[in-house]
């Protein structure tokens, strides 16, 4: 009887999540069909007005491997150069990052290199961004990770969103994986990021006007950043935290996939594991932090979103793990589960949902809905997706340990290969 | 489901196509009954009197076609104009002149007169008899009693015949006496262990022919969704192979008392298969309630149509409501208020009983096990309950509860009969009990019971067996029964029976067929599935919803594929 109840519980939890994602997938598709319909009129508006000044922040810590390519892309950005300032923030760099930056600064007047100083130095991304915030005065702030190569009109589209959607506190663009073809891992990550953006980001924006600010390719109004007092230096995932605070001011955050950037993803499991552990821990931290004061949040939609995160990082995994345990125990010992065929059919439906949801998002992107990718999607269900379970448990253990020992959050910078870790995002 | 419906339709069509009907086959019990008209008059409103009257009513209705039961206060001499037999039962002698006058008026009655109980000595027929002091006897007809009974010392007329003597240590007392058309049974109560002597004597008292056979049946009891399918199959097939009709007392739903969770036979495919197999081999289904529970008790353990906690009729529709004892008349300002109150309780009980019976019949029929009779869990039911049940069933198996105050007042008459409390239902009484492993020698107990029952000509040999005991005891039990030379297994399909609800009609015309017309609207079916298995229904809902979305998503994928080139071109611009 006990086993039955546990099974019911896991079924309920899992299916709440699956149905919610189904609902998001539908929203994501709707957003895809509609998001660019406003562009012609927004372009006309851009032509009429005095464009705002823009600062592009690129926080960098020993990024000599990738920074040249990044700055090249920055130099090509489509935006009036008198209104644009690219700021490379060298945070405690000991390699050639600054040197390369200076090279570009000499050639392009709108590129500037600054170095963090004093209390700002060597504290991590948030701190570096805060420093740049002090050192600049553009009306709009765009942030890119040091491994990003934005498309020409990326910043233009981000600003276009802010200019035309006055209720938007920030505009979030789309990122794509530049090294998707490199390893099996990057193939998975490529599929994962496309799905995440078109389902979770686009879907949530479509239904609730909620998008999580990622670590890269977004633009925010300076007045908001100043009102908020900059980035929170204690959060591991400063973006989730920022998202909630922007909503608390009464703004929404628009997902505008016309702004596109390309970034590199971890090519080895080791890097992936460390990077994702940090995200998972960061999000667990944020969920627990805000779960307590959820009801005092100004935006009730945000409350909903925190519950969603809570489901993602706690309940869903609890449900999946529980159902896996029951499945294994049931192999050896008959638990007399009273649910019959419907459970099997549900499992099949879950798999079909997984396939179709991913296929929709893949078919949105060019050349992604291929036979090869489809095989990877099937494989992904049994491998990559399952790896997440181990990862979330691992992150939970670390986070629990930290809370028991009452340690401060320490920013562990991922070890660099020729691949650099990407900015934070939730997935 | 659909094919089954069609199958029944076919059966019905074939039936109507037959050129001659064979409806006139009578059940083996009715054609043996005597045509003489009987009046059973009684005096006394106490529970024990009522129980005895119900017992006598049951016995008499098994012997005579027409039995009228009248309380003395309601009795008028005119009642006897067409009667052939008068039986008067009373423990107490009359004190009121009006009552005495009524009894005195019986002097003119010329038919058979039987008095039972010390109060019956008021009858004018006994003027030549002398009733003396009370005495206790330990033995009746050479048989020791478990409990000694009080009798009267009697001086009887010389020509009177003593059918049964009672004995105490030193003396012999006439217990059942016949003097021509006048007889007397010298006992307070006739429904106890003395019932065999009493019932047997009625043949002699009323000059009845003695039947040659003992009708018999054996039920496989308490087959609920948690029953072991293998044992049900094993025991059922054993009986079938022996040529013994199989009666399966089925509880369609198992209710777990701790969790409130319900498991239906539908949820247990193995058991369902076994039942299908047995039914295909001629087994009869007896509806043994719906869940066999009321309040927090396990299926098979609890009562269903009687509140065993408060020992009173059902008073709430929701079994989780707190127990509330039925109020006494003294708690009301006037009788009218009390009656209104009792009336409202009865309505609840009626609604409850209707719901349970309908659910039981519907679910069993829907799963392919149309019930042909009913057996109340633990035989407990109020008189109102029987009245409701008679609207659904024509046959009742088991014992009879004959009190609305105490479920323990239970009788087990010896004949297939139609006592008035059953409102037209035919009782197939249980007379030999069951294999009870709590007894030191369960088979010997049954052997003794068989001896008692077979001492009464025509008495039913009715018992049951729990399939969970396996074959072992069943083989012994069947062996015992097979040794009874004049035993005749009851085939219910040779009798006329019917079971019906608003949407289901099951009829046994008496020619071996069982016709089923099932027309349960899908709303009702879904309501039941929802009630029993709401979680599963929700899950199926999820399956449907997900399927729709998977289809929708597939459509999106194809649409996007279709517009792919157009989109690429547009993006290049």
Partner-chain contact B536 A357, CB within 8 Å: no
Say which residue, B564 or B198, is predicted with more confidence: B198
Split at pLDDT 50, 70, 90, the class of A237 is: low
pLDDT, tens digit, for every residue of B379-431?
999 999 999 999 999 999 999 999 999 999 999 999 999 999 999 999 999 99
CATH topology of domain A34-186+201-269: Spore Coat Polysaccharide Biosynthesis Protein SpsA; Chain A (3.90.550)
DSSP state, residue A311: I
What's the average model confidence in pLDDT over B461-470? 96
Say which residue, A25 or A215, is predicted with more confidence: A25
Give the per-residue pLDDT at B21: 28
| Residue labelled with tokens 């494989």 | A379
Split at pLDDT 50, 70, 90, the class of B280 is: very high
Give the per-residue pLDDT at A235: 65
Task: Tell me: pLDDT of B276 over 80.
Answer: yes
Which of A105, A117, A220, A98 lies closest to A170, judged by CA? A220
Q: Which helix (H) or strand (E) holds A157?
A: helix A154-164
pLDDT, tens digit, for every residue of A136-186?
999 999 999 998 999 999 999 999 999 999 999 999 999 999 998 889 999
> Within 10 Å of residue A344's Cβ, how many Cβ atoms?
10
Pairing of strands B143-155, B130-140: antiparallel
Give the per-residue pLDDT at A407: 63
Q: Among A322-336, A344-358, B168-182, where is mean pLDDT lowest? A: A322-336
Partner-chain contact B546 A22, CB within 8 Å: yes
What's the average model confidence in pLDDT over A254-259? 95
pLDDT, tens digit, for every residue of B95-131?
999 999 999 999 999 999 999 999 999 999 999 999 9
Give the per-residue pLDDT at B5: 43
Give the per-residue pLDDT at A114: 95
Task: Tell me: pLDDT of B284 over 60.
Answer: yes
Chain A interface mutation, best of B255, B554, B557, B573, highest count of A Cβ atoms under 10 Å: B557
Task: Tell me: pLDDT of B549 over 90.
Answer: yes
Q: Which of A5, A357, A366 sits opposite B553 (nearest CB)?
A: A357
Partner-chain contact A1 B560, CB within 8 Å: no
Partner-chain contact B557 A363, CB within 8 Å: yes
Q: Which long-range contacts (CB under 8 A, 24 or more apart) does A185-189 make?
A: A185/A265, A185/A266, A185/A267, A185/A268, A185/A269, A185/A272, A186/A265, A186/A266, A186/A267, A187/A373, A187/A376, A188/A376, A188/A380, A188/A383, A188/A384, A189/A265, A189/A266, A189/A272
Split at pLDDT 50, 70, 90, the class of A339 is: low
Give the per-residue pLDDT at B251: 95
Which of B384, B381, B459 lies closest to B195, judged by CA? B459
| Distance (Å) from the alpha carbon of A349 to chain B's nearest alpha carbon | 7
| Distance (Å) from the alpha carbon of A345 to chain B's nearest alpha carbon | 7
Partner-chain contact B545 A19, CB within 8 Å: yes
Give alpha helix (H) positions in B265-406: 269-280, 335-366, 383-389
Q: For all residues of chain A together, what is the average pLDDT? A: 86
Partner-chain contact A342 B543, CB within 8 Å: yes
Say whether B132 sits in a helix, a strand or coil. strand
Partner-chain contact B546 A25, CB within 8 Å: no
* Neighboring chain A residues of B560 at a CB cutoff of 8 Å: 360, 363-364
Give the per-residue pLDDT at A128: 92
What's the average model confidence in pLDDT over A301-305? 76
Task: Tell me: pLDDT of A403 over 50.
Answer: yes
Query: How many whole angstroms separate alpha carbon A157 and alpha carbon A257?
Result: 9
Q: Among A54-63, A392-401, B435-444, B471-480, where is mean pLDDT lowest? A: A392-401
What's the average model confidence in pLDDT over B276-297? 88
Query: How many whole angstroms separate alpha carbon B322 and alpha carbon B295?
Result: 9
Which of B445, B457, B525, B519 lies closest to B487, judged by CA? B457
Q: Which of A15, A29, A366 sits opposite B542 (nearest CB)?
A: A15
Split at pLDDT 50, 70, 90, the class of B210 is: very high
Chain B interface mutation, best of A356, A371, A377, highest count of B Cβ atoms under 10 Å: A356
Give the per-residue pLDDT at B40: 96
Task: Tell me: pLDDT of A414 over 70.
Answer: no
What's the average model confidence in pLDDT over A373-388? 88
Partner-chain contact B547 A1, CB within 8 Å: no
Chain B interface mutation, best of A151, A260, A349, A353, highest count of B Cβ atoms under 10 Å: A349
Chain B interface mutation, best of A363, A367, A370, highest count of B Cβ atoms under 10 Å: A363
Split at pLDDT 50, 70, 90, the class of A74 is: very high
| Residue labelled with tokens 């008349």 | B329
Architecture in CATH for domain B2-25+213-520: Alpha-Beta Barrel (3.20)
Partner-chain contact A360 B571, CB within 8 Å: no
Instruction: Quote the pTM value.
Output: 0.65
Domain range list for chain A: 34-186+201-269
Partner-chain contact B553 A339, CB within 8 Å: no
What's the average model confidence in pLDDT over B544-562? 92
Q: Which residues pair with A104 in a beta bridge?
A: none
Partner-chain contact B553 A360, CB within 8 Å: yes
Please, which residues have CB within 8 angstroms of residue B41's CB and are 6 or more apart in sequence?
Answer: B70, B71, B72, B75, B86, B87, B88, B89
Partner-chain contact A359 B557, CB within 8 Å: yes
Give the per-residue pLDDT at A415: 43
What's the average model confidence in pLDDT over B347-358? 95
Split at pLDDT 50, 70, 90, the class of A236 is: low
> Within 10 Å of residue B343's Cβ, how many Cβ atoms?
9
Task: Tell me: pLDDT of B316 over 80.
Answer: yes
DSSP state, residue A199: I
What's the average model confidence in pLDDT over B509-519? 93
* Neighboring chain A residues of B550 at a CB cutoff of 8 Å: 349, 352-353, 356
Domain range list for chain B: 2-25+213-520, 33-205, 523-572
Q: Which residues pair with B286 in a beta bridge?
A: B249, B373
Inter-residue contact B386 to B27 (CB < 8 Å): no
| Distance (Å) from the alpha carbon of A327 to chain B's nearest alpha carbon | 18
Token pair for B342: 């009792």
Split at pLDDT 50, 70, 90, the class of B16 is: very low
Q: For all residues of chain B together, what is the average pLDDT? A: 89
- Search chain A and give the residue with CA nearest B225: A338
Say which residue, A366 or A226, is predicted with more confidence: A226
Q: Among A208-222, B1-15, B34-48, where is mean pLDDT lowest? A: B1-15
Say which residue, B157 or A10, is predicted with more confidence: B157
Give alpha helix (H) positions in B192-326: 195-205, 229-241, 269-280
What's the average model confidence in pLDDT over A269-273? 91
Query: How many whole angstroms separate alpha carbon A402 and alpha carbon A110?
Result: 43
CATH topology of domain B33-205: Rossmann fold (3.40.50)
| Distance (Å) from the alpha carbon of B543 to chain A's nearest alpha carbon | 6
A:B CB pairs within 8 Å: 73
């Amino acid at each position: 009887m006990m086993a039955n109840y546990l099974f019911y519980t896991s079924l309920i939890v899992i299916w709440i999540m699956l149905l919610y994602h189904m609902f998001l997938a539908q929203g994501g598709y709707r957003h895809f069909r509609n998001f660019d319909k406003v562009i012609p009129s927004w372009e006309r508006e851009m032509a009429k007005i005095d464009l705002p000044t823009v600062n592009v922040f690129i926080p960098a810590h020993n990024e000599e491997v990738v920074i040249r390519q990044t700055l090249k892309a920055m130099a090509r950005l489509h935006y009036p150069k008198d209104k644009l300032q690219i700021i490379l923030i060298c945070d405690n760099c000991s390699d050639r990052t600054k040197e390369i930056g200076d090279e570009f600064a000499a050639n392009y007047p709108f590129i500037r290199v600054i170095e963090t100083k004093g209390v700002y130095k060597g504290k991590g991304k948030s701190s570096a961004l805060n420093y740049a915030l002090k050192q600049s005065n553009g009306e709009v702030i765009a942030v890119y990770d040091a491994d990003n190569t934005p498309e020409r009109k990326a910043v233009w589209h981000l600003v276009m969103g802010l200019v035309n959607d006055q209720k938007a506190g920030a505009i979030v663009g789309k990122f794509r994986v530049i090294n998707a073809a490199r390893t099996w891992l990057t193939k998975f990550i490529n599929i994962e990021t496309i799905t995440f953006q078109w389902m979770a980001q686009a879907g949530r924006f479509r239904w609730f006007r909620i998008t999580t600010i990622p670590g890269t390719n977004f633009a925010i109004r300076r007045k908001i950043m100043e009102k908020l007092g900059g980035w929170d230096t204690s959060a591991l995932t400063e973006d989730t935290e920022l998202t909630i605070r922007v909503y608390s001011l009464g703004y929404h955050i628009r997902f505008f996939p016309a702004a596109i950037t390309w970034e590199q993803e971890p090519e080895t499991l080791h890097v992936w594991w460390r990077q994702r552990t940090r995200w998972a821990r960061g999000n667990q931290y944020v969920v627990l932090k805000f779960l307590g004061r959820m009801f005092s949040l100004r935006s009730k939609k945000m409350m909903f979103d925190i519950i969603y995160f809570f489901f993602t990082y706690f309940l869903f995994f609890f449900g999946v793990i529980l159902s896996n345990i029951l499945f294994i125990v049931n192999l050896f010992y008959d638990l007399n589960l009273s649910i019959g065929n419907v459970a099997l059919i549900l499992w099949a439906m879950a798999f079909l949902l997984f396939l179709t949801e991913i296929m929709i998002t893949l078919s949105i992107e060019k050349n992604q809905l291929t036979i090869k990718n489809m095989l990877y999607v099937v494989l992904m269900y049994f491998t990559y997706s399952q790896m997440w379970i181990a990862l979330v448990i691992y992150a939970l253990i670390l986070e629990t340990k930290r809370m028991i020992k009452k340690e401060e959050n320490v920013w562990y910078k991922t070890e660099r290969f020729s691949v650099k870790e990407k900015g934070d995002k939730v997935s | 489901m659909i094919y089954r419906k069609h199958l029944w339709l076919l059966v019905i069509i074939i039936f109507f196509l037959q050129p001659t009907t064979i409806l006139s086959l009578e059940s083996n019990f009715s054609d043996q009954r005597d045509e003489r008209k009987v009046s059973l008059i009684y005096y006394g409103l106490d529970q024990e009197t009522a129980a005895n009257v119900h017992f006598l009513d049951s016995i008499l209705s098994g012997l005579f076609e027409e039995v009228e039961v009248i309380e003395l206060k309601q009795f008028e001499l005119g009642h006897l104009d067409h009667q052939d037999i008068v039986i008067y039962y009373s423990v107490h002698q009359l004190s009121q002149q009006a009552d005495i006058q009524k009894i005195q008026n019986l002097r003119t009655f010329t038919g058979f007169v039987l008095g039972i109980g010390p109060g019956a000595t008021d009858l004018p027929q006994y003027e030549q008899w002398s009733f003396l002091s009370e005495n206790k006897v330990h033995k009746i007809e050479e048989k020791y009693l478990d409990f000694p009974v009080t009798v009267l010392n009697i001086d009887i007329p010389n020509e009177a015949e003593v059918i049964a003597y009672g004995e105490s240590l030193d003396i012999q007392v006439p217990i059942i006496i016949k003097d021509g058309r006048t007889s007397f049974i010298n006992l307070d109560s006739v429904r106890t262990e003395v019932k065999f002597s009493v019932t047997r004597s009625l043949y002699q008292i009323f000059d009845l022919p003695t039947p040659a056979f003992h009708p018999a049946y054996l039920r496989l009891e308490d087959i609920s969704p948690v029953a072991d399918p293998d044992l049900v199959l094993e025991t059922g097939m054993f009986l079938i192979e022996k040529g013994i009709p199989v009666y399966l007392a089925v509880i369609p739903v198992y209710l777990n008392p701790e969790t409130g969770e319900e498991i239906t036979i539908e949820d247990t495919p193995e058991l369902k298969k076994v039942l299908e197999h047995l039914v295909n081999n001629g087994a009869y289904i007896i509806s043994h309630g719906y869940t066999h529970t009321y309040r927090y008790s396990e299926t098979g353990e609890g009562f269903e149509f009687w509140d065993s906690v408060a020992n009173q009729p059902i008073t709430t529709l929701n079994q989780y409501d707190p127990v509330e004892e039925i109020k006494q008349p003294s708690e009301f300002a006037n009788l009218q208020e009390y009656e209104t109150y009792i009336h409202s309780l009865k309505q609840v009980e009626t609604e409850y009983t209707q719901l349970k019976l309908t659910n039981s019949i519907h679910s069993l029929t829907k799963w392919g096990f149309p019930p042909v009779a009913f057996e109340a869990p633990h035989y407990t039911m109020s008189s109102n309950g029987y009245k409701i049940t008679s609207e659904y069933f024509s046959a009742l198996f088991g014992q009879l509860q004959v009190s609305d105050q105490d479920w323990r007042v239970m009788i087990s008459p010896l004949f297939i009969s139609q006592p008035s409390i059953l409102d037209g239902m035919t009782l197939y009484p249980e007379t030999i009990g069951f294999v009870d492993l709590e007894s030191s020698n369960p088979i010997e107990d049954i052997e003794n019971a068989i001896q008692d029952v077979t001492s009464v000509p025509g008495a039913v040999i009715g018992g049951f067996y729990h399939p969970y005991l396996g074959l072992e005891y069943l083989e012994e039990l069947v062996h015992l029964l097979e040794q009874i030379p004049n035993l005749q297994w009851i085939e219910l399909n040779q009798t006329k029976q019917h079971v019906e609800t608003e949407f289901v009609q099951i009829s046994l015309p008496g020619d071996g067929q069982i016709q089923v017309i099932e027309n349960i609207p899908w709303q009702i079916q879904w309501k039941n599935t929802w009630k029993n298995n709401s979680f599963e229904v929700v899950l199926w809902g999820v399956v449907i919803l997900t399927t729709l979305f998977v289809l929708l998503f597939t459509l999106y994928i194809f649409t996007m594929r279709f517009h792919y080139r157009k989109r690429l071109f547009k993006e290049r611009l």
